Amino acid sequence: MKPTPFIRKATYEDIPVLMRLFEHAKAIMRASGNLHQWGVEYPSAEVVRLDIEQGVCYVVTDGTDGEIEATMAFIPGPDTTYSYIEDGAWLNNEPYHVIHRIAVAKPGKGYARLLLDWAFERTKTVRIDTHRDNVIMHHILQKYGFQHCGVIYLANGDARDAYQMIKA
C-alpha cells in the first residue's frame, strides 16, 4: 500500500531542507525557460523564517520517512500587491487566501494538486500569481480550474500574471 502524504506546518528545523527545495525548484524553472522568477536571493531563509513565524508555511511530507516533498505559503488576504490589477479584474472582492512560494521536489507526482486541494478544504477563494514565463505553474493553475484575472505588480514593480479560483 502506498504511503499517504501528510501536510503540516513547517518548523524552523525545516529551513535548510526548504532552501534546498527552493533551489531545486529554481533549477526546474530555469530549465523550462523561466529565467527571471525567483532570483538568486529569493526566497531567502529570512522570508521562510517569517512565514514559519506567522504560521503560514506548510510542507508536504512523503508519508514514509517524513521527507519534505513540497511547500507553500498559505496566507489569509488581503495581499497589498493584489489591490491593483490591470488588463482584467478579480472574480470577486470577497475574503480570500493567497498562495505564495509553492515548490515541489518532484514535478508530476501530484504534490501541487495535493496542496491546492488542501487549501480549498480551508477556504473557498484563492488568489495566486506567477511570472509570465512560468509555463509549468500556468499549466497547473489552468488545469486545476483557476481563471486568469489580469496582471498585478510586486512591490519591486515586476509584473505577474494573476489567477483566482472560487469553489462553491
Are the C-beta atoms of residues 166 and 93 closer than 8 Å to each other?
A: no
Summarised one tens digit per residue, pLDDT across range 52-111 is 999 999 999 987 778 899 999 999 999 999 999 999 999 999 999 999 999 998 888 899
Which CATH fold topology does 6-166 show?
A: Aminopeptidase (3.40.630)
Note the pLDDT of residue 30: 94
Give me the percent of the chain exceeding a pLDDT of 90: 85
How far is it, in rounded angstroms, from Cα 110 to Cα 60? 11
Full-model pTM: 0.93
Are the C-beta atoms of residues 78 and 108 closer than 8 Å to each other?
A: no
The yes-or-no verdict on residue 1 having pLDDT over 80 is: no
Summarised one tens digit per residue, pLDDT across range 97-151 is 999 999 998 888 899 999 999 999 999 999 999 999 999 999 999 999 999 999 9
How far is it, in rounded angstroms, from Cα 109 to Cα 107? 6
Q: What kind and span of H or E run contains 34?
A: none
pLDDT (average), residues 40-61: 96
**pLDDT-derived band at 3, boundaries 50, 70, 90:** low
Note the pLDDT of residue 136: 93
